[in-house]
Amino acid sequence: MKKIFVFICVVISFVMFAQMPSEARKYVLNITPAQEISTKDESLQKGSVVNFTAVNDVYVGSTLYIKKGTPVTALVNYVEKDAWIGETPLLILSYFETKDVTGDPVVIDYTLKIKAKYGMSKFSEYAKYYAKSIIFCANLDLKPNDLVFNVIFDKSDDD
């Protein structure tokens, strides 16, 4: 009786495991700005669309999923501009869209926070930053192909 019970439990667990969907894995889409991104003027506001380009090929398993150079768009969710002393300009992007190799749309629900980095390692750089922020306010200013950002998304191998 005990052997039959163990056998039934093994069979049930095997059937349940075989019917479970495969787990989604995390993938990284490296993107770079395809346009100038700046908080200096009023053109960048909540709801604006920002254009990027895929930097590398993205493979799901051994299959090419997103090709290098594919356009990627993102929606501006929040803009903090004209930062004063001690503050950092901030841009929050979400809802990324691109296309896979077959031309089907790929929507990525990810939040990317971009902060201005000043690379201040010397006292003179700090002094210059603070003097500049008192007079002009600090702004975010990214040129095309200037930096690479990571957008992380889930995808199962079955999709």
Tens-digit pLDDT profile for residues 75-96: 999 987 765 555 677 889 999 9
Residue 6 within any structural domain of the chain? no
Residue 142 within any structural domain of the chain? yes
Give tens-digit pLDDT for 44-67.
889 899 999 999 999 988 899 999
The pair of structure tokens assigned to 62 is: 């051994």
Q: Which residues of the chain have pLDDT under 50?
A: 9, 15, 17-20, 119-121
Q: Domain range for residue 149?
A: 22-155
pLDDT at site 19: 47
Residue 17 within any structural domain of the chain? no
Burial class from Cβ neighbours inside 10 Å (0-12, 13-18, 19+) for residue 9 reads: exposed
Residue with tokens 């090929």: 57
Residue 2 within any structural domain of the chain? no
pLDDT at site 23: 63
Contact, 43 vs 17, CB < 8 A? no
* C-alpha distances out from residue 95 to 77, 109, 120, Å: 9, 5, 32
The count of domains in the chain is: 1
pTM of the entire predicted model: 0.71
Q: Which residues of 15-31 are buried (b: 16+ CB within 10 A; e: fewer)?
A: eeeeeeeeeeeebebbb
Residue 70 within any structural domain of the chain? yes
Contact, 94 vs 77, CB < 8 A? yes
> 106: closest CA among 48, 37, 60, 46?
60
Distance of CA 69 to the CA centre of its chain: 16
Residue 53 within any structural domain of the chain? yes
Here the CATH number for the domain that contains residue 75 is 2.40.128.260
Residue 98 within any structural domain of the chain? yes
Residue 119 within any structural domain of the chain? yes
The pair of structure tokens assigned to 112 is: 């990317």
